[in-house]
Each structure stands twice: as structure tokens, then as C-alpha cells.
A and B are shown apart, each in its own frame.
Chain A
Amino acid sequence: MSLLIKNGIVYDPINNIEGEKMDIFVSDGKIASDAKDAKEIDVNGKLVLPGGVEGHTHIAGGKVNAGRIMRPEDSRRGAEPRSKLTRAYSGCSVPNVYATGYRYAKMGYTFLMEAAMPPMAARHTHEELIEIPIVDKGAMPVLDNHWMTMECVKDGDMDKLTAYIAWMLKATKGFGIKIVNPGGVEAWAWGKNVSDLHDRVPNFDVSPAEILKGLSVANERLNLPHSIHVHCNRIGSPGNSETTLETYGLLSDVKNDDRQVMHATHTQFHGYGGENWGDFCSKADEIAKYVNSHNNLTIDLGVVMFCDTTTMTGDGPHEFNLYRLTRRKWSNHDVELEVGSGVVPFVYGPKIPPHAIMWAVGIELPLLIDDPWKVMMTTDNPNGCPFTFYPQIFAQLMSKKKREAMLEEVHPVVNSHAILPSIDRELDWNDIAIMTRGAPARLLGIDKHGKGHLGIGADADIAIYDIAPKEVDPAMDYKSIERAFSYTAYTIKSGEIVCKDNEVVAVPKGKTFYVDPEIDDSVMDTMLPDLKDKFKECYSINMANYPVQDAYLPNPYKISTKGT
């Protein structure tokens, strides 16, 4: 199909296009310089963006499904009947695979990165990913609490570690290196945790700091498109910003000319001061200060909104603590030699002081960080809130008036223990376009693979919103922002119109992105004997049956990398 989108107001930050009225041609699924027999869509001054890139979300795999199974009450809330074209929807914070794809696509998103894939259960993640309609996707294997990782780090054997990571990426068809509470999740397999970056992990005698630095070396040696993606230790605890800043500092001297060397995820959950829930406060200013003065670190937000949602992370001990805090139902799943996870339903209430502060931190961070290119917009869906809250979040970032209206409804502790009431900055269209398209694509390294921009040759993934940026002042008319970003006028995926005015009109199958790092056989051979031993002695599955088979990626998109 050829398309000509006429008269849109285009924001394409990667190509330095900032609110220009221009025409976009689509041909053979790509952005083109012109197109024969194009179907014309005159959008008449409406906002045109590249398709949204969701850089960190929990949408597929074991713990997401554990959330679904555990929460029929959530499934009931999102029910919508099937149609000839679409399958039935279910769920709100843990939607079924169909609702996930349809809702993201209707909001204008066309690429999703599953944030945490347990390697031994990678097959499950891929089985769900391929059922999510329309969008392209990838998944990041969690690799930091692995016995092999810790043993290599302990021995200081970076060759072996690099080979192991390469093997794991290939076996899981994974996208990059995800780190979750390094050391803490192995401790949790015995019911414990780590308390700071220099704690020794029981039985393995390495520290979280050593693990993180080792994985960073492997990441850079393999020349992966993305940096290490880090869920810091001490998530959700009062005073954790100290550990967060120390974590950032571990790589302060490391450089990569092309991109960041560390991406710190859901930073809101790691930006707290105080010593207990009584003096809990925002440290978004200190986090922002670090980010502003260092060019090798990027973050994503993990914004909290007031809602009934489901927390789910690979941070097993943290989820156990949430269970103890709330006495809500709790699912836990430790995976041998590798990872952990926990799922606990959670309600964030505006009148609960720590929750009010957490909400404030999530909104403060992007307003205090000078350079939007360092920030990916996320809610750590569904941990902070379901992704369907994005329109309300955009409105708060673009409008102080909206924030003031919200501040009236939340606990007054934010006046003394958070920073938000004193912030005047309002983000503009370009900032939003950067944080939801340009930055995520660039930080993940998929801008080089046709994502996050509308340059010639890019994938024709386009979101057209029913709002005229030249005519609307978002600071005043934030209700229009909320309305307009709730669903697109058109979502186009690989050149095909897939959504129109909140209806799904086509259901193509997306591609699964994965990274295949090249590595010398001789280096692999230093690692394989140990790995084979682990399978023989410790795993409960045979090595031959472990890797994700091609059958689970019917539409693969391989990114090959050449290491050093």
C-alpha cells in the first residue's frame, strides 16, 4: 500500500524536524521520498509522530501470566467482546495478549520492549510475544544473578563472561543485558537479600558492584546496540537514592562514543530519601543533578499514577516485602541458576503520603533533567500504572495547571517532602516526541533499524493524533492532550493503516527483534565446558532442549553485532 499523509504537523526529533508542516510518503512499508498511486490522507494540521517506542514494559512471559492467573478480578475489568477482526479483550493492569497489542496500537505505539525475560523460560516470553498483534517487539533476558555470571566475575574472567552472555543472548533470542537487583535475587533463593552494592552474595562471594561492572564490560565487548539496562538494588526503599547514585557512579569513567554505557530503569522507584516511611521524601533533584552532569547515563521514568495495578518484577525479595507490607496475595517464582520474580497487586492512593511522593518523583524527574534525550517515557507498566495512563502523564508534564489540579487532590506531604509544587517547567510537543520516540529508539539502538523516526527508509510506523499542535496550547488546554493521546486518528504500521479513531482495522503480525552477537569460537570454547557441566549437574532441563527454537520467532528481525 502506498500512502501520502498530507499537511501533518510533524515532530521527528531524530531528524531534527520540530513541528513542520510536511507531507510523508509511504511505499512498500517504508517512509519514501515519493509514492505511486498513493492513497491520500489529508490530516489538515494534525500532529504526526513516528510510532511510539515503549522501551521498558512487562507484557509477556511467566510473571505477567502469573499476574493474569492470580487476578481474575483484573481480567474482568477490561473485558471487550470479539469482532470479526479482533479477539476478545480482557484485563486492565494484566491485559491478555490481544488487548495489549490492540490498546498500545490504538494509542500510537508500534514497538514494545519486554523488560525482563527469565532465560530458562524465554520460550514462554516468545510464545506470548508472537500472540501480541500488530506491534514489533523484543525482550531483554535477565542475566545478573546467574551462577555462571557470578563465577566469571569472581574469577575476573571477562572472556568467559562475554562468551556466556553471547551464548545466552543467542539461546534466548534476547535483545540485551538486563540487570535486576544484582546479587539480591540469588540471596533471595535462600530467603535473603543484599543491602548495598558491596555486600557479598552468599556462596558466590561477589558484590553487586562487581557483577554490574563485569556485565558492562561484556556488553561493550559484544558491541550490543543497547547498554546494560539496570534495575538497581534497594528498589522502593526509603533512602535508596544513595545506592542509586553510587550505582551510576560505578561507570562514571566508562565511555562509549555512540551511546550511553548504562541505562537506569524506572528511576522513580529508586529516587527516595529519608530513613523510613515517616520521613520518606523525593530525591529527584539529586538524581537529576547526576544525570545532567554525566553524558554516559540515561534513564527511564517508571511513573506512578493513582490506580489499582499489579506490581511484577524480577526482584523477588522486593515483592516479598510488598506482600509483607500489604498482605495482598503474592506469587513468587525463583528460576534455577538464574533469576527470580514476584507479583503482588497494589493500589496507589493519592492520600497515602509515600504514594503521593512517589507520584511526584516520577513527574519531577523529566522536568528536572535538562536534556530530554536522556529520558525514556515509561510507567514500568504495570508497576507504576498501566500504560493507558500515558495521556494523563503527558498532560501533567505539559501543563503546570494540570499538575496544580492534581496537587489539590493529593496528600499535602508533597509540599514539604517533594519538589513538584515548585517546578514551573512545562514540556513541549518536541520534548514529548523525544521521550516517547526519539530517545527510546536511540537508547535501545533501534533508530539504526528503522524505528523511532520518519527519515527516508525508516519503517513506516506512524501515529497521527487528532490534535492541532499549532492551534492548541497544551499548558492551558491539557484536557485536549488527555483526549488526543488516548487514541490516534490513525496508526500506521509498516505502511498499513491498522487503527483508525479507536478502532482496530487491520491485524498484521509484528516482528520479534533480537540480537545475535558474533563471537570467536575459541572464546566460546573457554566457556562451554563449564556450561555443559552446569546443565549436567545443576539444571533440570537438558542443554539441547534449552535454547529458544526458530518456531517461536516466525517473523524474526536479527541484529548482528561484531564484538571487539
Chain B
Amino acid sequence: MSAENTTVTDVVCPFCGSLCDDLEVEVEGNKIVKVKKACKLGKSKIMGHQRIETPMIREDGEFKEVTYDEAIDKAAQILADSKRTLSYGWASTSCEAIEKGIHLSEVVGGVIDSTASVCHGPTVLAVQGVGSPGCTLGEVKNRADLVIFWGSNPVHAHPRHQARYSYNAKGFFSDGKEDRTLMVFDVRKTKTADKADEFVQVEPGSDYKIFSAMRTILSGNEDVVPDEVGGVSKEKLIEIIEMMKKAKFGVIFGGLGITQSRCRYKNLENVISFVDEMNEHAKFTLIAMRGHYNIGGFGQVCAWETGYPFAVDFSRGYAWYNPGEATAVDVLNRKECDVVLAVAADPVSNFPRASVEYMREVPVIQVDPYPNPTTEFADVVIPAAVAGVEAEGTAYRMDSISIRMRKIIDTKFLSDEEIFEKILNKVIERKEGA
């Protein structure tokens, strides 16, 4: 890279599922000095944070600095000798790295799961029950006159979503929010709800009932709906259904409010069925507000490689799928793994505390650019380049569109793709001979 000041354009943001690709990054002599057009989340990510500076292996409770080769050798040995590795995370790295990770799990006969299992896994389970009536984000921008966020707070979690794709975005058939109605359904009045044309407050854990009531009204059977459902009056629900039926193009963006609360995937089955049924009256779609920038990519790669989108168990030599059995938190709850491989994710922070305590008892290998609570539990730590900043690779946006992330600066760190290529080769050698 030159020592001059250059601006890299069309940069793909490696943070959330919006995967904005219009960022501009100013670089001065291999150092990022400014990020333009990004939201607070993307800017913070690309400007950079404290890093894991060198590979480490824990000896007698203390970390010892080692070389990449030493850490990779140690990790490969632990993985090759394991009976049931839990490989978890994978949402914040490239598809090319994910491919290697899945291959590795197949070779060691372990379990591989992504952060989806504690995020939109329930949405995926619902898709497996009733399907996915979706579209790309540009369809929303160009056509939608009714935008609904349900259990989703983009102002905090996907800050540029509304400007780029949904509420405020102008498109071919739309002048943006002038032509649009924004509805927000949530248990509390979020910043997103503040801006909505209509905010409907729902009682926690009542989304399933409300979707059922809506479907009942839509099918012409409102007489059997009670006067109040989940904190929402029947009159209100009828009014909402009438409005939806008049829409030219309605979209429901579903968030973690419906995946992480009571009924879990059943909520999604119900709202997806509602959207399907709405299509008899008006064009309606649903898009899941995927959290991490490449959690969609994990689902896509895993599906084309194994037939399943997450929670894959290779202990039989072929892919086995049974959510609840090979989902990461369940594997930890049952103390079933003998090794944990945490990649581009922080299970210690993001899983229930009781579930992660087991990680103190087994070897933990962490591959990540950043130190975090999982590092405190790790026995082998391998620092990675930041995908989308220091390494190229493919990522999938929340609407299943893939974009190639750029490499903006050089780095001393190996990419996840390189790390796992090496680990995979060493493991294959150890297990199957050269």
C-alpha cells in the first residue's frame, strides 16, 4: 500500500446484516484515518479496536505468546484428537473461511453451529415449516408503501436500514416516507417506534396470539376474536388488517423480539403464514433482520455444503440435523462436547451464564481478531485479520444478496480463511494420513 492518502470507495461494511456497500474509507500509509457514510457501528468497526496481538497457548493457567505455526499445530492436534468438537460462531467472517470451517467439522466428525441458533435460528426453523415469502431490499425501496418492523429496532441495530432500504429510502415507484406508512410493533416504545406513523404496543410473549388473531380476522372470522389480544384491542387489529389489505406492497421486517421470546419459532411460523395469506389480498413479503453481516452467508454456505443451514452434527460421517440436539447452547447444557472452537463470535458473553460454565472444563480454541470474555476461557488463541477490512471475502446481506468485501489495508495477521486452510490440512494429515 502506498504511503499517500487514498480514499477507498464502494467499501462493504462488515458489521450488521444491512451490509451497506457505499462506504468510503480514507487510508494514510496503511492506516485507516476516516470512515465516511457509515453509521456509528460500522465506523467503530472499521476504525478498529484493541486486538489480540499474538497467538497464545495457555500453560499452567497463564497465556504464553507463541507463533502462528505453534498455535495452529496445537489447535490441529486438539481438534484431530477430539471426539466431539463444538465449532461455534462464524457469523462475522467470510464465506471462504466458513467453507473451510465446515470441511473441518466434517473431517473431525464434530458439530458446527452458527450464531443463528441464538438469533434468527427460529426464523429458519419456521421457514422449514412454512417457507419464506421474501424479496431483495431494493424491492422494498422501490415498491413498498407499507413498512412494518415487528420486534425489531433498526435505529439501534441496523442504523442505515431505513435510509437505504426501507422507510426513508426513495425508489422508482416511491418518494420515500412521503408515500409510506411505517408501523412498529414492540413491547416498548423504541427510537424506531418514535418515528412510526403507528406504534402498537404488545404484551411480552403475546406475538403468537396476535398473529393468530390477525389471520382469523383476515379469513373473515373476526367474530371469534376476543375484545383484546396481547394488549391490543380487537378494533385496532381489524383496522390494521383493513389497512394492510389496501397496501400495494407491504413488508414485515421481523426482529429478535419474535425469535427470542415465548413461542420462539412458532411466532415466525405464524407470521409467515399470515404473510402467505395476505398475498391473496395484497403483495406482502417478510424479511428477517439478520444481525451480523455474514450470518446469512453461514446459512447459505452450510446449506449448499451439507443440506442444512446450521446446527450440523457430523459424528455419523454425514450431516445430521436436529435443532435442539446439535444447537450450541444445548450441546453445552448437556456437557456433550470435549472441545469448543469459537470463531468470530463470543459465546461466553452471549450464551446464558449457566451454559458457558462447562467451557471451563474442556479445551477452548478461539479464533478472533478481538479479545473478549471467551478469551478468558480459551486455551489456544489465534488472532485473525478483520474480514472486510484486512481480508477480502464474500458476505451475504439479510436478503440473501452476496457482496464481495474489500481488503482496505495490509495486516500482519492471517485471515480466517488462511488459518483454517492450515488447520484443516494438518488435521487431515493427522487423522487420515497425507
Nearest residue (CB) in B for A538 is: B172
Q: Is B171 an interface residue (CB 8 A)?
A: yes
Other A-B contacts than A68-B308, A69-B128, A89-B318, 20 sampled, CB-CB below 8 A, are A60-B304, A62-B400, A64-B304, A68-B303, A75-B308, A78-B307, A82-B106, A84-B432, A88-B314, A88-B319, A90-B318, A97-B304, A98-B305, A120-B136, A121-B400, A128-B304, A189-B135, A337-B142, A544-B10, A545-B403
Chain B nearest CB: distance from A189 CB in Å?
7
Chain A positions within 8 Å of B103 at CB level? 87
Q: Is B300 an interface residue (CB 8 A)?
A: yes
User: Which one of A96, A123, A332, A333 contacts B306 once the chains associate, using CB atoms below 8 Å?
Assistant: A96
Q: Is A539 an interface residue (CB 8 A)?
A: yes
Chain B positions within 8 Å of A203 at CB level? 173
Q: Is the CB of B305 within 8 A of A97?
A: yes
User: Which one of B131, B248, B392 contacts A331 once the chains associate, using CB atoms below 8 Å?
Assistant: B131
In the bound complex, what is the Cα–Cα distance between A120 and B142 (angstroms)?
A: 16
User: Given A88-B306, A189-B143, A537-B172, A124 and B21 touching (CB < 8 A)?
Assistant: no
Q: Is B225 an interface residue (CB 8 A)?
A: no
Chain A nearest CB: distance from B19 CB in Å?
9
* Interface of A toward B, CB cutoff 8 Å: 60, 62, 64-66, 68-72, 74-76, 78-82, 84, 87-91, 94-98, 120-121, 123-124, 127-128, 131, 147, 189-191, 203, 320, 323, 329-337, 343-344, 537-542, 544-545, 549, 551
Q: Is the CB of B132 within 8 A of A189?
A: no
Q: Is the CB of A333 within 8 A of B279?
A: no
Chain B nearest CB: distance from A147 CB in Å?
8
Q: Is B46 an interface residue (CB 8 A)?
A: no
Tell me the dominant secondary structure on chain A's binding face: mixed
In the bound complex, what is the Cα–Cα distance between A190 and B9 (angstroms)?
A: 34
Chain A positions within 8 Å of B309 at CB level? 69
Q: Is the CB of A331 within 8 A of B318?
A: no
Q: Is the CB of B171 within 8 A of A79?
A: no
Chain B nearest CB: distance from A107 CB in Å?
20
In the bound complex, what is the Cα–Cα distance between A203 and B10 (angstroms)?
A: 31
Chain B nearest CB: distance from A550 CB in Å?
11
Q: Is the CB of A96 within 8 A of B305?
A: yes
Chain B positions within 8 Å of A89 at CB level? 318
In the bound complex, what is the Cα–Cα distance between A323 and B318 (angstroms)?
A: 31
Q: Is the CB of A540 within 8 A of B172?
A: no
Chain B positions within 8 Å of A60 at CB level? 304
Chain B nearest CB: distance from A282 CB in Å?
31
Q: Is the CB of B319 within 8 A of A330?
A: no
Nearest residue (CB) in B for A549 is: B404
User: Which one of A123, A131, A320 contacts B279 once the chains associate, using CB atoms below 8 Å?
Assistant: A320
Q: Is the CB of A333 within 8 A of B299?
A: no
User: Which one of A71, A97, A191, A539 contacts B282 once the chains associate, using CB atoms below 8 Å?
Assistant: A191
Q: Is the CB of A79 within 8 A of B318?
A: yes
> Which residues of chain B from 385 to 434 have any CB-CB distance to chain A below 8 Å in the complex?
392, 394, 396, 400-404, 432
Q: Is the CB of B402 within 8 A of A121?
A: yes
Chain A positions within 8 Å of B321 at CB level? 72, 75-76
Chain B positions within 8 Å of A537 at CB level? 170-172
In the bound complex, what is the Cα–Cα distance between A64 and B300 (angstroms)?
A: 10
Chain B nearest CB: distance from A445 CB in Å?
28
Enumerate 30 A-B pairs (CB-CB under 8 Å) in ascending A order: A60-B304, A62-B400, A65-B304, A66-B132, A66-B400, A70-B128, A72-B307, A74-B307, A75-B306, A75-B321, A88-B106, A96-B303, A96-B319, A127-B95, A131-B304, A191-B282, A329-B128, A330-B133, A330-B276, A331-B133, A333-B134, A333-B136, A334-B136, A334-B285, A336-B135, A336-B141, A540-B141, A545-B21, A549-B404, A551-B404
User: Which one of B282, B303, B316, B396 contacts A69 once the chains associate, using CB atoms below 8 Å?
Assistant: B303
Chain B positions within 8 Å of A329 at CB level? 127-131
> Which residues of chain B from 63 to 101 have any CB-CB distance to chain A below 8 Å in the complex?
95, 99
Q: Is B22 an interface residue (CB 8 A)?
A: yes
Nearest residue (CB) in B for A332 is: B133
Chain B positions within 8 Å of A62 at CB level? 400
User: Which one of A75, A120, A190 contacts B307 once the chains associate, using CB atoms below 8 Å?
Assistant: A75
User: Which one of B21, B164, B283, B403 contacts A190 once the chains associate, using CB atoms below 8 Å?
Assistant: B283
User: Which one of B138, B279, B317, B403 contacts A82 once the chains associate, using CB atoms below 8 Å?
Assistant: B317
Residue-wise interface mask of B (308-331) relative to A, using a CB-CB cutoff of 8 A (1 in contact, 0 not): 110000101111110000000000
User: Which one of A90, A336, A545 contacts B404 once the chains associate, using CB atoms below 8 Å?
Assistant: A545
User: Which one of B164, B165, B307 contacts A90 once the chains associate, using CB atoms below 8 Å?
Assistant: B307
Chain A positions within 8 Å of B106 at CB level? 82, 87-88
In the bound complex, what is the Cα–Cα distance between A251 and B260 (angstroms)?
A: 56
Q: Is the CB of A337 within 8 A of B283?
A: no
